[in-house]
Amino acid sequence: MTPEELAATSQAPAASPAPGGGAAPPPSLESAKVTLALDPLEAARAVAPGKPCPVCGGGPLASLSAHDPELGRSMELIPGAACICTACGFKARGLPGTAANVIRTLLFLALGAVLAAIGFGFVRAQRESPWTHVGGIALHVCALLSPIVAYGEWRKARKKLAAKIGAARARFERAAEEREIRIDPHALLRAAAVGKECPVCGKAPLEGLEPSFLWSRSNLRCPKCRLDVPVTLTQIGFSLGLAVAAALVIAGAYALLAARDSIGNEFMLKGMLGIVLALAGIYTGVILQGAGDEPARKELETAKRRFERRKRGLSSRDEDEPGAWFQENLEAVVVAVILALVIRHFVMEAFVIPTGSMAPTLLGDHFEATCKNCRYHFAVAKSEGDMNASGESIRARCPLCGEETDNTFHSPDVHGGNKILVNKFIYKLSEPERWNVIVFKYPKNPSRNFIKRLVGLPGEWLRIDKRGDVWTKKNEADPWVLARKPKAVQEELWMPVYDSRFPDLRKDQPAWEEDNTRWSVNRGRAGEELEARPGTGETWIRFRREIKDNYGYNKWQGEAHPTGDVRVRASVLPRKGARSIRLSLVENKEHALVASIPVADAAGAHDMPLLTLNGVPVSGVTVRTTRPLLQPDVPAEVSLAYADERATLTVNGEDVLEWDDPRAPAWTDSSSVSLGCDAGGAVFRDVRVDRDVFYVEGGRAEFDPRRLPEGLKIPDRCYFAMGDNSPNSQDGREWGFVHEPHMIGRAFLVFWPLWQVKLIR
């Protein structure tokens, strides 16, 4: 019954028939007070039709058989009067009467006598058997305990009824208390404002901050009743708080990931920092979840009810709050876990690079080495497996100057492999594209995941020439077509050969060789600076080292190959009087590609060809600009690249010229780069030389496109993948093809370490 129904019923109690027929007279007020004053155990004895209700004091109690015949008959099958209070709805079976107790006791005594007789018969019939003797004694004991059991059953019924009365009294009191307290949470919220009287206790003004662009109502506090009303944020405030919470959680996750690669005190510090940041982010999210008008109304209603109950001398404990809080947060946790599992399974997943087959694009477990000659920092692969106590000895070769140094690394020196994110649904919407970095199940063991670069597509023929370039064709009778890399992929695959910021300190092995005495190589804090002084005619300085496919990451890679796909770039400062700045790429000493970049307002600069091959202007050049490219005494970034038989000239980040070479060499014996200018002179800073990936022979001949003159036929619904670290990559050249069902997705982001975050191209 609802509290209103109970109140209405208590004001006008219905008359109930007495056990002997007719209406029972209502109990007096004094008898009702006496009944309510009894403790539940004593009040249980007074439960009978016609007696006052032990719960509400109303009554008299009505016979249940008269009030509800069907239920009454089912309850009266057990000795004891079944009764109900028509005022509060209390319903119970009374205690058994004296006659019922006597009958029950006699029944137990009779049962005990029967058990004793059986036990005596056992003892007399089988004296020689110890088991029958023990059984007889047990039956005698049961016979003696039967009266005690009868009394215990009577006491048990009394305690059950007392417990029922106590629980009913508590419910009735709570219902009565709730009827007395009427609260309008909306009115309380409207009355809550900074400086206004507390709507709960009315004894002090509320403390808080004035509204701003972050909150429409700040967190309000009452110094008297300790009211704490949550803040209501504006859209800007909520968005900013959400961003702060996400940033703290992400920063904590990064710190915890960094702790995985550390030991000792560093591990403890990073781990504690990560936990603190993550907990701060979660706490900020909890604050955001508890902000707003609805939580404020709930807090005001709860505080007002608690205050009113204390005024009435009642308990102020709120029983529903812990359960509601647990339910709300449990729902949030369950939703977050389900969402994380769905995202991990269908959308994206994090992977760790275990090996260096994709170096230097993606690194596995490695060490950081420093060249003792040029001070260049580079990654060196760690051997697979655990490291022994004496560490790991590695002879590292610098990819810039070629100096070899002996290093001994220990466990604290190990840097974990790159952590990457993989888009798992992209290939459900579109076909994989050549040069994508893909994650797939290892064909020989699908429980392992591999990461490689996609080189060959389903149904096509694939070949790699002696220059390390990739060629394809759709059908066996079709001509071969060079598979050029997109610009973004090519930028990712350029690998350093020289960097003027890390000059070679060996005086007997200079990196540059000039053709006359107009050049000087100056060394400063920014590294090597190449300067051509004014003079007569043009002048050149040539990079004298061999350009080969050396990998500083590899401890062993076999024979290095001369590479013709090269890029040279620099920051150049033309001097007054200079007509042009020149960049040259020479392959096999007979394929000399020269780019001449004119300087504005110089005499004859506009008549100068931008690109020449062996001194002859080339045809088919695509020029994308008509404005002057260089200005006197104004620094500019220039670059000349030759990759996949295409030359590209770039000035200040803009590709101003492209040319596809129809007469590219069939193989590369040597290659070099040169920098030049004419009579006016120039200064070259931040000079860098890079080389392209060179795909070498490896694996099994039946799967190696470089060792198959006729090419490798890729089956339908299969892909061919290779690693960027071609000399040390276990890829399709060894185990063949990746079947379409084994494709997991495309790697698109390195998210750890933090200083190496980048998009994967």
pLDDT tens profile 227-256: 888 889 898 999 999 999 889 888 888 887
Q: Report the C-alpha gap between 450 and 314 in whole angstroms.
A: 68
Instruction: Tell me the average pLDDT of the chain.
Output: 82
Which stretch of 300-304, 442-446, 699-703 has the lowest confidence by average pLDDT? 300-304
Residue 710 has pLDDT above 50, yes or no: yes
Specify the pLDDT at position 384.
81
Residue 319 has pLDDT above 60, yes or no: no
Structure-model confidence comparison of residues 117 and 97, the more confident one = 117
Specify the pLDDT at position 161.
80
- C-alpha gyration radius of the chain: 46
Q: Report the C-alpha gap between 394 and 420 in whole angstroms.
A: 27
For the chain, give the percent of residues with pLDDT over 90. Answer: 40
Name the E strands within 492-620. Answer: 495-499, 512-514, 519-524, 527-532, 539-543, 566-574, 580-587, 591-598, 611-613, 616-617
What is the average per-residue pLDDT within 639-650?
96
Q: Which residues contact 545 (CB under 8 A, 6 or more apart)?
A: 402, 497, 498, 511
Q: pLDDT band at residue 592, thresholds of 50, 70 and 90?
A: very high
Specify the pLDDT at position 718.
97
Q: Which residues contact 207 (CB under 8 A, 6 or more apart)?
A: 194, 220, 221, 222, 223
pLDDT tens profile 177-227: 666 667 888 888 888 888 889 988 888 898 888 888 888 888 888 988 888
CA angle, residues 329, 330, 333, in degrees to nearest 5: 85
Per-residue exposure over 561-577, b if at least 16 CB sit within 10 Å of its own CB, e if not: bbbbbbbbbbbbbbbee
What is the average per-residue pLDDT within 93-99?
64
Residue 119 has pLDDT above 70, yes or no: no
Q: Where are the domains of the chain?
A: 1-179, 186-324, 366-413, 419-491+696-759, 495-691
Structure-model confidence comparison of residues 554 and 9, the more confident one = 554
Nearest by Cα to 82 from 90, 98, 93: 93
419-491+696-759 maps to which CATH number?
Answer: 2.10.109.10
Q: Report the C-alpha gap between 188 and 42 in whole angstroms.
A: 45
Residue 133 has pLDDT above 70, yes or no: no
Q: pLDDT band at residue 74, thresholds of 50, 70 and 90?
A: very low
If 0-12 CB within 10 Å is exposed, 13-18 middle and 19+ buried, where does residue 668 land?
buried
Contacts of range 405-410, beta carbons closer than 8 Å, 24 or more positions apart? 405/369, 405/371, 405/372, 405/373, 407/367, 407/369, 407/380, 409/367, 409/382
Q: pLDDT band at residue 492, thresholds of 50, 70 and 90?
A: very high
Specify the pLDDT at position 6.
36
What is the average per-residue pLDDT within 17-44?
62
Residue 113 has pLDDT above 50, yes or no: yes
Residue the block writes with tokens 């009779």: 110
Q: Omega into 60 within 30° of 0, i.e. cis?
A: yes
Q: Report the C-alpha gap between 232 and 295 in whole angstroms.
A: 9
pTM > 0.85: yes or no: no
Specify the pLDDT at position 577.
86
Q: Report the C-alpha gap between 520 and 502 in whole angstroms.
A: 17
What is the DSSP secondary structure assignment for residue 684, as one 8-state letter? E
The Cβ of residue 289 has, within 10 Å, a number of other Cβ atoms equal to 14
H or E stretch covering 461:
strand 461-464
Specify the pLDDT at position 287.
82
Specify the pLDDT at position 78.
47
Residue 552 has pLDDT above 50, yes or no: yes
Instruction: Domain 495-691: give its CATH architecture.
Output: Sandwich (2.60)
Please provide the DSSP assignment of 572-586 as one string.
Answer: EEEPTT--EEEEEEE
Specify the pLDDT at position 506.
86
Q: Report the C-alpha gap between 553 and 397 in whole angstroms.
A: 8
Report helix angle 264-289 to 235-260, nearest 10.
160
